[in-house]
Amino acid sequence: MALAVLGLIVVADFDRTLSKYTHRGQICSTCHNVLEEGHVLPEFYKDEARALRDHYFPIEMNPKLTIEEKIPVMVEWWTKAHGLLSKCHITKDDVRIMVENSTARLRDGCTWFFDQLQATDIPLLIFSAGIGDVIIEVIKHQATLHDNMKVVSNYLEYDDQGKMTGFQDEMIHVYNKNEGAIHDSDYFQKLEHRNNVILMGDSLGDLHMADGAVGVQNKLKIGFLNVKVEESLELYMKKYDIVILEDETLNVVNAILRKVLQSEQ
């Protein structure tokens, strides 16, 4: 497959894809977990958020359920979670402090990956059902937020006093990454000359993140399988071109990118 640099775009999920599932044997935070870990939010939030996750996460990861069966359940989860957070009136500084003190970690090799994409002018679209404000802070804190990067996610909305009042725009959950948001914008139209895509995700819903891309000729789908490995491996191997098991690095992705860059020299 010829993935020429000038014709390449990278589309990646964030939680458990660009970020680690575990670090030194401990499970790392996702965007939403960052808020539960911190000392900023009240205990009622943490208790209720954990209860929601304990109930809904097994449903999200159940390989026996279809995506169609999961969608209304995910909408229910995200609606409750966002409503719960909206009660807490956090500020931008609160988000920054919680990120700095969290266990959220970018994968080993992620900084090199970001820097190389920037150096070679390859666009990186990060498409996440997490919280955009948290993603931005994680990247700023642990790497560099380059100007070739666009983060599409659920962003907090603030009032004139800088306190959160809710969320901006339409909700993005795990299984609607083929709708609205970036697909209704002109992002992909502006990049229609880039017809080769590297897509990176950790869920089946991530497979649709680049559905809005125009004129795609080649798409390399790289999946990170972190949980329920035995139950999900066969399905993931059918859906993704490459499946990476329980690996907290970007070594495979970076090796592919090196080959692409070398082919252009």
Q: Is the predicted pLDDT of residue 190 greater than 90, yes or no?
A: no
Q: Is the predicted pLDDT of residue 178 greater than 70, yes or no?
A: no
Q: Is the predicted pLDDT of residue 248 greater than 70, yes or no?
A: yes
Band the pLDDT of 173: cuts 50, 70, 90: confident
Collapsing DSSP to helix, strand or coil, 198 comes out as strand
The rounded mean pLDDT for the chain is 90
Band the pLDDT of 182: cuts 50, 70, 90: low
Band the pLDDT of 264: cuts 50, 70, 90: low
Token pair for 196: 């080769």
Catalytic annotation present for 247: no
Q: Is the predicted pLDDT of residue 3 greater than 50, yes or no?
A: no
**8 Å CB contact between 243 and 221:** no
Band the pLDDT of 181: cuts 50, 70, 90: low
Q: 13, 94, 202, 206: which one is catalytic? A: 13
Question: Please, what is the end-to-end C-alpha distance for the chain in angstroms?
Answer: 17
Tell me, what's the pLDDT at 228? 87
Predicted confidence (pLDDT) per residue in 42-93, tens digit: 999 999 999 999 999 899 888 889 888 998 999 999 999 999 999 999 999 9
Q: Is the predicted pLDDT of residue 2 greater than 50, yes or no?
A: no
Q: What pairing do the DSSP bridges indicate for beta strands 242-245 and 26-27?
A: unpaired
Q: How far is CA 49 from the centre of its chain?
A: 19
Calculate mean pLDDT across residues 169-198. 74
Calculate mean pLDDT across residues 226-251. 94
Tell me, what's the pLDDT at 184? 55
Catalytic annotation present for 15: yes
Tell me, what's the pLDDT at 159? 92
CA dihedral in degrees (86, 179, 114, 201; nearest 10)?
100
Q: How far is CA 220 from the centre of its chain?
A: 17
Calculate mean pLDDT across residues 167-175. 85
